[in-house]
Amino acid sequence: MSTTSTSDTVSPVAPNSAEARDIAYHLHAYTNARKHEEIGPLVIDRGEGIHVFDHAGNRYIEAMAGLWSVAVGFGDKRLAAAAARQFEKLPYYHDFTHKSHGPVIDLAEKLVSMAPVPMSKAFFTNSGSEANDTVLKMIWYRSNALGQPERKKVIARERAYHGVTIASASLTGLPNNHKSFDLPLAGILRTGSPHFWRDALPGETEEAFATRRADELEQLILAEGPETVAAFFAEPVMGAGGVIVPPATYWDKIQAVLRKYDILFVADEVICGFGRTGRMFGTETFNLKPDVMVVSKALSSSYLPISAIIANERFVAPIMDQSNTIGTFGHGFTAGGHPVAAAVALENVRIIEEEGLVANAVASGRRLLEGLHALAGHPLVGEVRGVGLIAAVELVTDKAAKKALEPAGTLGGLVNAGLQANGVISRAMGDAIAFCPPLIITESEVDDLLSRFALTLDTVAKQI
């Protein structure tokens, strides 16, 4: 197995090396900036299939598909060719003031037509954060258009992840996305997560837990006043909050509450979309009926930045009417619906469809979950959860108490570093280790990943 130094190991950094220049000039996302000065970066040089290689030549299984996103794997030549063709033909244009171009028209048509519930229009942005930020603005705009200026509150869930702009970070339900940023914004309401293993009451069944979560949502709406609540944002499966798969009947009960009070439902499909949950969309996997679907990440396999808001007529018609009243819809991004990104996204979706990657996600995902469940007896494994080709293992040192090392996240950090040393790039979300490999992963490659994970668990168990 390929081995490298762990992410927490201090190693000499050569002057003028890529690592030294990175430390000197680059402020990283989601990184302890002072710790980074001590340990430096892992510099990735190239990718091929499910693997990436650092600039020293070490190979890693990219078990997170980058950031939950590289569905077709690294180095896909069809996507490179699609980008090159579009760069030569029309490298940039926009969709402001009645302008358009072929790739954005084709992509809008494709997304609306392939949506699993009736949809009307697609609006393009550059990231999931921008898309969710835009949806919130659209919700406020729509409420004003309907003569309901008081209906501006939105509900999101604890441990949700919807992005990092001021608005989308407010929707996110993770403390480190709020601390020191003066967030969340007013008007963002919070309800409980669907994590049965962590949040169930003693002796509570999954059915009772789902009922309780729906009742809590209804009581929140009633306490705030249904006439003030506009929308509910949720991921079909929570991603960055720990790969939380809701229990059976949860979504049926939640959606019944939303319908009762005429509250819009925004399905954040940024991670779930394009095959990750074993269907093309998480909306299909859980029989959801959203008014809005937000997609990004695997839309282009993150080869280029692009995201889309797919909205139904109920949602979009008042917005269009209001733009007529005002004279414009005063919102948009310079690169929204960029022709090269749109061309790559179209080709990426074709690859997913033509190569049967959703079916492969089912087969390889079954292999992954079976292998992870086989590790359930390991002293460090508290819970295994997942659906399709996305999974997580909750790490513990005390199974009965469902607790790990203090402070929280210590054990997750140790296992994550150990995985990197064993040639696997994963992600620790607190004390949960996530697995979200490219949809192209084969069953034999899944077995390789599982063996490296088992080795890492055994090694860390001996160290603590």
Give the per-residue pLDDT at 132.
98
pLDDT beyond 90 at 10: no
Residue-wise pLDDT tens digits, 188-235:
999 999 999 999 999 999 999 999 999 999 999 999 999 999 999 999
> From CA 191, how far away is CA 220, in angstroms rounded?
8
Q: What is the mean pLDDT of residues 262-281?
A: 98
Write the CB contacts of 295 (distance below 8 Å, at least 6 apart in sequence): 111, 131, 269, 270, 273, 274, 307, 308, 310
Give the per-residue pLDDT at 246.
98
| Degrees, nearest 5: CA angle 180-186-192 | 85
pLDDT beyond 90 at 1: no
Neighbour count for residue 60 (Cβ, 10 Å): 23
Residues in the chain: 464
Element (H or E) spanning 247, and its range? none
Residue-wise pLDDT tens digits, 356-381:
999 999 999 999 999 999 999 999 99
Give the per-residue pLDDT at 14.
86
pLDDT beyond 80 at 9: no
Write the CB contacts of 9 (distance below 8 Å, at least 6 apart in sequence): 39, 417
Structural domains of the chain, ranges and CATH numbers in brackets: 18-72+356-463 (3.90.1150.10), 78-354 (3.40.640.10)
Q: What is the mean pLDDT of residues 420-444?
A: 98
CA 332 from centroid of its chain's CA atoms: 23
Mean pLDDT score of the chain: 96
Q: Helix (H, G, I), strand (E, B), or coil: what is residue 20?
A: helix
Give the per-residue pLDDT at 4.
38
> From CA 10, how far away is CA 57, in angstroms rounded?
19
Q: What is the mean pLDDT of residues 268-284?
A: 98
Residue-wise pLDDT tens digits, 97-127:
999 999 999 999 999 999 999 999 999 999 9
pLDDT beyond 70 at 7: no
> From CA 1, how far away is CA 424, in angstroms rounded?
10
Give the per-residue pLDDT at 11.
57
> Of the candidates 110, 109, 372, 160, which has an alpha carbon nearest to the alpha carbon of residue 266?
160
Q: Grade residue 12 by pLDDT with cuts at 50, 70 and 90.
A: low
Give the per-residue pLDDT at 3.
38
